[in-house]
Amino acid sequence: MEELDRVLSGGLVPGSVTLLGGDPGIGKSTLVLQMLAGVMSAGHSALMVSAEEAPAQVRLRADRLGTPGNLWVTEEPDVRAIEVMVKRLRPAVVAVDSVQTVFDSDVAAPPGSVAQVRACAQHLSTVARSSGAAVVVVGHVTKDGVLAGPRTLEHLVDTVLSFEGDRHHSLRLLRALKHRFGVTGELGIFEMTAAGLAAVRDASALMLAERRVDTAGVVVVPALEGRRPLLVELQALANTSASVSPRRSAQGLDGGRLAMLLAAVERHVGLNMSVLEVFASAVGGVRVIEPAVDLAVCLAVVSAVSGVAVPRDLVAYGEVGLSGEIRGVSQAGKRHGETSRLGFKRAVVPSSVPEDDRLELIRVSSISEAVDALSLLGQPTVSGSEPRFAGRQSTVRSEGWQRRRSVGRPGARAGSHRPISARGSRTA
Ligand code: TYD
Ligand code: MG
């Protein structure tokens, strides 16, 4: 599998242990079976330990995914018995699905417990070293996002792969969080289809397939995943809230970073964010956490608040600092190439970005400059004058989107009608 080899900088290393983590149902078993198919088509033997599903079920799925019939399949959950099997069969690759369902009989703890998971991982790495087989261990991620429960597992293995995506979307991303034999940061992009996982050739096109144009709160950002540029649609939604601490929710974005960006928008654009609940997300089940998405997040939020859409032929990228300044980011050329390839014509970029004949660049040095360049709040506010806005003002309640008249000096919340008494009465 080309995408997998890319993430592993070549492929599986004999005698090593690879942990494949991900949410339940994301497609780990599918990925493993297809990986074994690839290994076997290169003439190697493979053993699938499936303590999670019955061998007949595994066979059925393996057949469907094109894994050769001479794949060894067992449901043996005892790691010592697995060791004996590996010594006898000498497979080039052993997959254990999952580490939470196998056990070491020397450990008096139930399968899936921290002690068992650690002991099994330890034992399986001994098996890998002594037999020379490449061992791939599947681990379910717990709710708080920690691989296979104990973080300590990551230190026991050579490579940690994370399989991510939104179960309700077909896109799946594979990344190496740790890799003893190569670089991390490379991204494998797959699509879950009826015939299993397929490598995605044009991820940006897939990401933007359902894009809403001319909609307020939507901004496309040319992000970088590993060494690959990827166009991602960001969305924001802002509503007035009666709560003392309105909700902030980030999906596919860094939540702490969102809080910082909202504070920067409040201070440097002069929008009163403290009365708004804000939801921001990266569409398609991806996670974009590089600072280069900051500017696009801010513009999506301002656009959501004012109701003015960002032009459809435009992308934005740049890191936002605490003073509202836009900082340069790496790989501008790669970002521009992908942007123009997908038909976009313009980009709002940091002021340091050099001329590029593929795109019309709108260079900005601050958030407010970017907001004004796109007229997201209508005419720029002149200190002392009444705020003027374009767009669907009637659908947004006034105190939410009103730009503060004296930017940089947060004053009293103009026109706020927060129900002060509501909190006390609700707790009764
Ligand atoms: P699975 O590999 O079992 O996930 P995990 O091992 O991470 O729990 O696959 C999860 C989902 O993928 C399953 O609900 C159905 C879907 N799927 C497909 O859409 N196409 C396929 O070819 C296969 C095998 C699974
Ligand atoms: Mg599974």
Task: Write down the pLDDT at residue 171.
Answer: 87
Do the domain assignments include residue 189? yes
Rounded Cα distance, 237 and 276, in Å: 10
Distance 147 CA to ligand 1 centre (A): 19
Tell me the pLDDT tens digit for each residue of 205-238: 888 888 888 999 999 999 998 788 999 999 999 9
Residue 381 and residue 264 share a domain? yes
Question: Residue whose CA is closest, atom 1 of ligand 1?
Answer: 27
If asked whether residues 149 and 231 sit together in one domain, one would say: no
CATH number, domain containing residue 225: 3.30.230.10
288 and 371 housed in the same domain: yes
Say how far apart CA 11 and CA 381 lie, in whole Å.
57
Tell me, using a 6 A CB cutoff, whether residue 24 lines ligand 1: yes
Question: Which mutation among 63, 192, 197 tests ligand 1's pocket best, with the greatest number of atoms within 8 A of CB?
Answer: 192
User: CA-CA distance, 131 to 273, in Å (whole number)?
Assistant: 60
Based on the fold, state whether residues 178 and 244 are members of the same structural domain. Answer: no
Task: Check pLDDT > 80 for residue 36.
Answer: yes
Residue 24 burial (10 A CB sphere; 0-12, 13-18, 19+): exposed
DSSP-based helix, strand, coil % in the chain, nearest 5: 30, 25, 45
- Cβ atoms of 271 and 396 closer than 8 Å: no
24 CA distance to ligand 1 centroid (A)? 9
What residue's CA is closest to ligand 1, atom 23? 196
Using only C-alpha atoms, the chain has a radius of gyration, in whole angstroms, of: 26
Residue 354 confidence (pLDDT) above 70 = yes
Is 231 found in the same domain as 138? no
Residue at which a domain ends, from 201, 222, 256? 201
Query: Which residue owns the Cα nearest ligand 1 atom 2?
Result: 27
pLDDT band at residue 417, thresholds of 50, 70 and 90?
very low
The burial of 370, by beta-carbon neighbours within 10 Å (0-12 exposed, 13-18 middle, 19 or more buried), is given as buried
Kindly state if the Cβ of 302 falls inside 6 Å of ligand 1: no
End-to-end, the C-alpha distance of the chain in Å comes to: 59
Q: Residue 239: which residues within 8 A CB-CB, separation 6 or more?
A: 276, 277, 400
**What is the domain count for the chain?**
2
How many angstroms separate the alpha carbon of residue 31 from the centre of ligand 1? 9
* Of 167, 201, 235, the domain-final residue: 201
Q: Cβ–Cβ contacts within 10 Å for residue 355, how many?
A: 7
Taking residue 373's Cβ as centre, other Cβ atoms within 10 Å add up to 16
In this structure, the chain runs to a length of 428
The verdict on 256 and 335 lying in the same domain is yes
Q: What CA–CA distance (Å, rounded) separates 62 from 97?
A: 14
Q: Does 63 fall in a domain?
A: yes
Cα-to-centroid distance, 225 and ligand 1 (Å): 24
Answer whether residue 250 shows pLDDT above 90: yes
Task: Kindly state whether residue 164 falls inside one of the protein's structural domains.
Answer: yes
CA–centroid distance, 23 to ligand 2, in Å, is 10
pLDDT single digits (tens) 91-130: 999 999 999 999 999 999 988 888 899 999 999 999 999 9
**359 and 280 within one domain:** yes
Is the CB–ligand 1 distance for residue 306 below 6 Å? no
428 assigned to some structural domain: no
Is the distance from the beta carbon of residue 140 to the nearest atom of ligand 1 less than 6 Å? no
Q: Which domain holds residue 239?
A: 207-401
Residue owning the nearest CA to atom 14 of ligand 1: 25
97: nearest Cα among 109, 82, 114 = 82
In this predicted structure, what is the pLDDT of residue 380? 54
Q: Are residues 213 and 325 in the same domain?
A: yes
Both 104 and 174 in one domain: the answer is yes
Cα 28 to ligand 1 centroid, rounded to whole Å = 7
The atom number, within ligand 1, closest to the CA of 163 reads 7
Judgement on whether residues 8 and 47 belong to the same structural domain of the protein: yes
Same domain for 229 and 154: no
Enumerate the H helices of 215-364 as residue ranges. Answer: 255-269, 294-306, 332-341
Strand-pair category, 276-282 with 248-251: parallel
Q: Using CB atoms within 10 Å of the CB of residue 263, give its burial: 0 to 12 exposed, 13 to 18 middle, 19+ buried.
A: middle
CATH code, domain carrying 87: 3.40.50.300
Of ligand 1's atoms, which has the minimum distance to the CA of residue 24?
Answer: 8
Choose the final residue of a domain: 159, 185, 201.
201
Q: Is residue 98 part of a domain?
A: yes
Ligand 2 centroid to Cα of residue 288, in Å, is 26
- The type of residue at 117 is V
DSSP letter, residue 47: E
Q: Convert the pLDDT of each residue in 252-264 to its tens digit.
A: 999 999 999 999 9
Identify whether the C-beta of residue 277 lies closer than 8 Å to the C-beta of residue 242: no
Q: Are residues 119 and 197 in the same domain?
A: yes
Which position has the higher pLDDT, 393 or 188? 188
Q: Is the pLDDT of residue 408 over 50?
A: no
Binding site membership of 29 for ligand 1 (Cβ less than 6 Å)? yes
Residue 185 pLDDT greater than 80, yes or no = no
Q: Is residue 425 part of a domain?
A: no
Closest residue to atom 22 of ligand 1, CA basis: 196
Interacting residues of 415 by C-beta distance below 8 A, sequence separation 6+: 398, 399, 402
Residue 414 maps to a domain: no
For residue 155, name the pLDDT band (cuts at 50, 70, 90): confident
pLDDT mean across residues, the chain: 86
Structural tokens at position 225: 């995943």
Ligand 1 binding pocket includes 61 (Cβ within 6 Å): yes
218: in domain: yes
